[in-house]
Structure 1
Amino acid sequence: MGRLIPWAVLLVLLSLTEAGRNFWLVQQRVLQQREVLAMKEVVSRRLLLRPASWRAPIEGSLSQPLDHFNREEGHTFQQRFWINEEHWNRPAGPVFLYIGGENALSPYAVLSGHHVELAEEHGALLVALEHRFYGASINPDGLTNTSLRFLSSQQALADLASFHLFVTQKYSLGQNTWICFGGSYPGSLAAWFRLKFPHLVFAAVASSAPVRAQLDFTGYNRVVAASLSDPVVGGSAQCCQAVAEAFAAVDEHLAAGRLAELEKDFRSCRPLTEPSDHWEFASNLADIFMGAVQYNEEFLCGSVTKQCSVMTRDSLGSPYQRLVVIMNGYLECMALACMDNSHQHTLEELRSTNLTLTGVGERQWYFQTCTEFGYYQTCEDATCPFSRLLTLAPALDLCSQIFGLAPQHVEGAVNFTNQYYGADHPKASRVLFVNGNIDPWHALGVLRNQSRSEPAILINGTAHCADMNPTRPSDRPTLVWARQRINSYVGQWLRSAPKEPSAS
C-alpha cells in the first residue's frame, strides 16, 4: 500500500514557506487532502477484505506521438496510465475511462471516487490516462515554448483515442461499452471525447465542465459573490458586503500609497514596489475567498462558512481588519510565513522550464489558457466584491511576456475553441452535464437539458466536482439525489448499449 501514496506531493506542500499565486497553492492543498482521504478510504476497505481479493492497480506508460496530426514529425513521449481490474466482470463488463487534466494522476484515479463505486456496481474495468505534459507524461524538454505547441485539448483527445486502442488490444475487448468520466477541464474533455469520437465512447459524465471558453470570465466572481451571500452554505448579504468594503479599503490604501501599512498588515514577503505587484497582491487576497468558494466544504483552510463567520464578526473591528484576520488564518493553516506578492517572481516561475512531476502544472495550464480557453477571472462586474485592479489586461500581459502571444492571438484562440466544440451547445448525445450552483465554473457549463440525450443536473449547495468524490455520510441531500440520478443515467446507458462495438 505504501507505493500508492504520492508522498512527493505532500513533501512539496509541507516545504513551502511563502505563498504566491495563491490559487495554485489552494489547488495543491485540495489535491493533497483528496489523496489523504482516498488513502484512508482504500485502506479501510482493504481491511474488510481478504488479502487474496486485493488486486493492486497496474501502472504503465504508452508511447504516444508528440503530434497526432503530423506523424512525419516523428517524436514521441511516454504517457502514464493506471488500470484497475478489481471490479471487472470479464470479459464483457464495461470500461470506465477516467480522464486526467492539469495535474498529475495517482493510482487513486482508479481506486476512489463515485466512478469507482459505479464500476463496482456494474462490473467495469477502470482505466485512467494522465494528460500529456502533466505529471510524469512529459519529456525532459516538455516545458520549452517549442514543445508546448503540442499541448492542446485536440492532441489530448487524440491521446485518448490511442489509449482506447491500446486497452482494447491489451484485453482483447470486443463488445464492451465505454463510458468516460471527467471533472473540471477533464469534464470538458469527457464531453468532447464523446462529441468527436462517438464510435469509441458510448456515453460521458462531464462534471463541473466549463465547455464554453471565455476570455474575460467576469461570471466567475459573480458566482463567488452569490455564494458568499447564500445562507445554504453559510453565506449572507452582510458577509458579501463586508468583503466588498474590505477590498475597497485595500484599493484606497493602494491608491493613497499606504504600501508599508499593507505590507505589514498582510504579511507581504517583499515590498509592493511596482504597480504589477499591486495587482499580484490584490489577486492573492481575492484568491483566498475564490478558493474557499470553489472548493467549499473540501478546502480545510477555508469555506464560505468559515470566511463569513470572520467577515461578519463586528468584534474584530472594521471589514479591513477582519480581512487581516482572514489572511493571518490562511497563512497559519497553510504553514506559510508570508505572502509573496512579487510579480517579477511570478514571471520567473511561469517562465521556468524545470519539470515538476507532481501536483498542478502551472506553466502548462497558463499556456492552455493563452492558446485555447482564456478563463481569466476579472473583477469588472458590478457585483464583484474584490479589488478593481483585477482587470483583463494584466492576465493577457502574462501571455505576452511568458509565451510571446499577443492579446488578439488569445482572443482568436478562444473563439476557435468555441467554434470547434460548440461552446455550451455542443450538440452531442449521451452526455450528462453535472454542476454545483456554488461552483463559480458552472457559469461556463451546460445547466439545462439540451435534449433528451444531453441532460443536465444542477446541484444546490455544492461546489466544484463535488459529485465525483466518494459517497460519505455527511453528503448533502441534494448531492445524494444528484448521485442517484447519475447512477440512473449510467445504468440506462449500459442497458441500452448496442451489441455492435462500432455503433455510436
Structure 2
Amino acid sequence: MNKNSTIATNILQMQSEALKNTYQEIKTDWITQRIDNFNPNDKREFEQRYMSNLEFYNNSGLAFLKIGGEKEISKSRIGNTMNPFQIWAKKYGAACFYLEHRFFGASQPFEDHSMESYKYLTVNQALADIKNFIVQMNEMFFLDIEKPRWILFGGSYGGALAAWFREMNEELTIAAIVSSAVVQAEVDYYDYTKNLEYVLKEENAPCAETIRLSIKALIEKTYTVDGRAELGKVFNMCEPFTEPPIAKDIQFFLANILYTFGGYIQYAGGCRLPDVSYFCDLITDGSETDYIGVIWNAWKIYDQIFQSEECFDPSYERHLEDLSDITFMDNEFASYRSWLWLCCTELGFFITTDNGKSIFGSSVSLDYHADKCMDVFDVQYDTERARTGVRNTLRTFGGYDNYKGTNTVFVSGSYDPWKSACCLNCTDITRNVYSVIIEGGSHCVDACPVDFINLPALNDYRTFIDEKLEMFIAENL
C-alpha cells in the first residue's frame, strides 16, 4: 500500500470509529421556530433540529451551546468526551446543546431551496433563531433557575455567529468561546491563497517552489489541445474538455485544483490530517520535477480522504445544474447552495488568486465567483450586490476592527488560511475580550479532540481558555 492510500485509510478508519459510537446520551429533538422572525404578521413556522447532552449537568443552571454553521450537525461534536467542549462541560457541570442552522441539514423551513425561500436565509434570521432557542430552552430545562447562564461556542462561520450573538444579546449569555471565527466579511478573499503560500513556505520552502512550478506547468497545459487531452487522462475526467475549450470549464477545473490544496492545508496538523511537511512528502514522492504528477498526487489524496466521486466532471454547466437544483435531493449540494447564497448576499469569502504574484498563479479570479452567483441565482447577484451585503454585515457587527462584545475569547491558528478574517488583535481586557493565536495551528484546531494532536502550543492555550471560562462562570454565579 502506498503512502497516499495509507493516510486515506487511517482517516477513513478514524471516521468509521466515530460512526460506530452511537452516543446514546445524545438526544435529538426539534424546536418550533418562526420562518420570519421579524414580521409578527407572518405566522408560518418550521421545525429546527437540535441535539442535547445532559450527561454532566449538575443542576447549576449552566449551559453550553454550540452554534451550527454551514453544515448539518452531528452527535460526535457534543458527544465525544475528548472534545474540549465536553471536557469543560464535565468540569463545570454544564448542560450541552447543539443548534442546527436554518436551511442546513434537516432544519429546512421549506420544501425547496428557491430564491423565494432563500429570502429567509440571512445572518439576522439565524441570530434570531438562536435567541428564540435560548428562551425556549430556559422554559423547558431551567424553569427552577432564576437566571440560566449560557456560554456560546462555535467554529468558522458558526464561531462568527456566536461572537455576533454575544455582541448583540449580552443579556441572554455570559460568554462566548469561538474558534477561527470569520467575523471580517470580505468579498475578494485572496488572503486565503496568500496564507496558504505562507504556510507552505514556512513548513517546506522547496515544496512551495515545486507547487509553484507545478501550477505553472498545469496552467500551460490548458493552453493547447494536446495539453488539455493529457489533463483529461491524468485527472480521470469523466469526459475530456470540449474542443475548442469553454473558458468556464477551464476556470472550474483550476478552481478545484486550488481547493484541493486549500482543503488539505486548511486542516493540516489538526484533527483531520497530518501536517504540511508530511503532505509535501506525499505529493512530491521523490519526483519533484514531475510537475503534473505533483498536482495529481495532491488530487488523489484529497479524493481519498474526502471520498470524492470516482471521476471528475469538468463541465461548469453541469456543475451549475447541480447547484441550481432547488429540490435539495443531494444534501451536499443543498448545503453548498445555501452557503453560496450567504456568500453572494452577505458574507463574500470568495477565494481567489487576486493577490498578485502567487505560487498558485492567477488561476481563480473574483469574476469567476461573481459569475457563479449570477448563473446560479440571478443577474442581480453581481459583485456590487455582494459588496453591498458585506458592507452591511460589517456595519452591523463591526468586523475585527470594531467588535463591541464582552467576555469573548477568539481563538485562531497562525497556519489557518482563514485567519485574516478572524479577530487576531481584538484583545481588550477592560471588556474581557481576548485574542489567542496558536502558533502552527490550523482551522479550528483548538476544538479538536485532545487525543488527536501533538501541538505544544495548543495545551498552553487550552489552559488559558479554561482559565477564562472559569472566570466568566465565577463572575456570573
| Same fold (TM > 0.5) | yes
1:164, distance to aligned residue in structure 2 (A): 0.5
1:228, distance to aligned residue in structure 2 (A): 1.2
1:460, distance to aligned residue in structure 2 (A): 0.9
Alpha-carbon displacement from aligned partner over 1:314-336 (angstroms, at most 9, x marks no partner): 53643233223333444455364
Q: 1:242 matched to which residue of 2? A: 210
Contact kept, 8 Å, 1:136 with 1:357, in 2: the verdict is: no
Q: 1:114 matched to which residue of 2? A: 84
Equivalent-residue separation in structure 1 for 2:415 and 2:405 (angstroms): 26
The TM-score with structure 1 as length reference comes to 0.85
Contact kept, 8 Å, 1:225 with 1:383, in 2: the verdict is: no
Contact kept, 8 Å, 1:251 with 1:388, in 2: the verdict is: no
Q: 1:191 matched to which residue of 2? A: 163
Equivalent-residue separation in structure 2 for 1:31 and 1:403 (angstroms): 36
Equivalent-residue separation in structure 2 for 1:421 and 1:109 (angstroms): 27
Aligned counterpart in structure 1 of residue 433 of structure 2, from 454, 468, 473: 454
Equivalent-residue separation in structure 1 for 2:268 and 2:193 (angstroms): 15
Aligned counterpart in structure 2 of residue 433 of structure 1, from 404, 410, 413: 410
Q: 1:13 matched to which residue of 2? A: none
Structure 2 SS opposite 1:204:
strand
1:469, distance to aligned residue in structure 2 (A): 1.8
Q: 1:502 matched to which residue of 2? A: none
Q: 1:148 matched to which residue of 2? A: 118
Q: 1:204 matched to which residue of 2? A: 176
Aligned counterpart in structure 2 of residue 217 of structure 1, from 189, 204, 209: 189
Q: 1:51 matched to which residue of 2? A: none
Deviates more, 1:131-140 or 1:485-494: 131-140
Aligned counterpart in structure 1 of residue 467 of structure 2, from 488, 494, 500: 488
Contact kept, 8 Å, 1:80 with 1:129, in 2: the verdict is: yes
Contact kept, 8 Å, 1:217 with 1:377, in 2: the verdict is: yes
Equivalent-residue separation in structure 1 for 2:10 and 2:422 (angstroms): 22
The TM-score with structure 2 as length reference comes to 0.89
Aligned residue identity for 1:290: G
Q: 2:456 matched to which residue of 1? A: 477
Contact kept, 8 Å, 2:66 with 2:98, in 1: the verdict is: yes
Contact kept, 8 Å, 1:296 with 1:302, in 2: the verdict is: yes
Aligned residue identity for 2:400: D
1:184, distance to aligned residue in structure 2 (A): 0.6
Contact kept, 8 Å, 2:346 with 2:390, in 1: the verdict is: yes
Alpha-carbon displacement from aligned partner over 1:3-51 (angstroms, at most 9, x marks no partner): xxxxxxxxxxxxxxxxxxxxxxxxxx999888645456x67xx9xxxxx
Q: Please state if 1:397 is matched with 2:371.
A: yes
Aligned residue identity for 2:394: N
Equivalent-residue separation in structure 1 for 2:69 and 2:250 (angstroms): 31
Aligned counterpart in structure 1 of residue 108 of structure 2, from 126, 138, 144: 138
Deviates more, 1:377-386 or 1:245-254: 377-386
Q: 1:10 matched to which residue of 2? A: none
Deviates more, 1:162-171 or 1:289-298: 289-298
Equivalent-residue separation in structure 1 for 2:198 and 2:188 (angstroms): 19
Q: 2:321 matched to which residue of 1? A: 348
Q: 2:249 matched to which residue of 1? A: 277
- 1:434–1:378: structure 2 CA closer, same or farther, 3 Å change rule? same
Alignment of 1:17-96 (within 5 A): 36=16, 38=18, 56-90=25-59, 92-96=60-64
Structure 1 SS opposite 2:151:
strand
Aligned residue identity for 1:161: K
Q: 1:3 matched to which residue of 2? A: none
Q: 1:7 matched to which residue of 2? A: none
- 1:79–1:331: structure 2 CA closer, same or farther, 3 Å change rule? closer
Equivalent-residue separation in structure 2 for 1:143 and 1:32 (angstroms): 31
- 1:435–1:36: structure 2 CA closer, same or farther, 3 Å change rule? farther
Q: 1:105 matched to which residue of 2? A: 73
- 1:165–1:142: structure 2 CA closer, same or farther, 3 Å change rule? farther
1:245, distance to aligned residue in structure 2 (A): 0.8
Q: Please state if 1:406 is matched with 2:382.
A: yes
Contact kept, 8 Å, 1:103 with 1:358, in 2: the verdict is: no
Q: CA RMSD in A?
A: 2.4
Aligned residue identity for 1:417: T
Gaps spanning 5+ residues in structure 1: where? 1-28, 47-54, 500-504
Gaps spanning 5+ residues in structure 2: where? 1-8
Aligned residue identity for 1:470: P
Q: Please state if 1:366 is matched with 2:340.
A: yes
